[in-house]
Copies of this chain bind each other. A is one copy, B any other.
Amino acid sequence: MEQYPDSIRRLIRNLAKLPGVGEKTAERLAIHILRRPVAEARDLAESITTVKEKVRLCTRCFGLSDGALCRYCQDSGRNERLLCVVEQPADMIAIEKSGAFNGLYHILGGALAPMEGVGPDDLRLNELLARVRNREVDEIILATGTGVEGETTAGYIARQLADTGVRLSRIASGVPVGGDLKYVDKNTLKCALDGRHAL
């Protein structure tokens, strides 16, 4: 690496911090960037800073958003009485890609994991309860992962919401047990949403 001018070395070092990018790949990417037009490199650089400046969490569902409310919470074409509760924004993206859901979301920000010190106060459970108590919602699909933590979280939420009168369901066992929602294919997710069962 010391063979390169300082500015290239700095770029290689920074690129090598990306996941799955070793020094060899970082070198190749740096040389590629060096060869592309200035406008293209500037566009890449700007999109990196912009994403950090603009992306925040939707104030309603806590999904990724460029503004106060995300595109789904702003979309009047969606069924806002139906809520899908997921652990992470990536899970929401996976469900959206399946095209099988037309309601709104609530992103918890994780799952209950007592062994790792993640308790109810670390998730956006109060915010979920508030949405239910404000009578914003008729039905909730619990789409947390199907591993121990996801099931525990779903069970906990079901107990918390038991006396609220909201209809509760859990995604079907189409999702492989122990699996991570964001790696599941579209059709399995579709099955899981269609085959949800009442709790």
Each complex incorporates copies of this chain amounting to 2
> Is A121 part of the binding interface, using a Cβ–Cβ cutoff of 8 Å?
no
A44 near B14 (CB under 8 angstroms)?
A: yes
CA distance A28 to B19 in the complex (A): 8
- Report B-chain residues with C-beta under 8 Å of the C-beta of A29: 18-19
A-B contact pairs, 7 of them (CB 8 A): A3-B97, A5-B71, A8-B64, A10-B51, A14-B47, A17-B36, A34-B55
- Report B-chain residues with C-beta under 8 Å of the C-beta of A31: 90
B96 near A11 (CB under 8 angstroms)?
A: no
CA distance A79 to B96 in the complex (A): 63
Residue interface mask A92-118, B partner, CB < 8 A = 1: 110011000000000000000000000
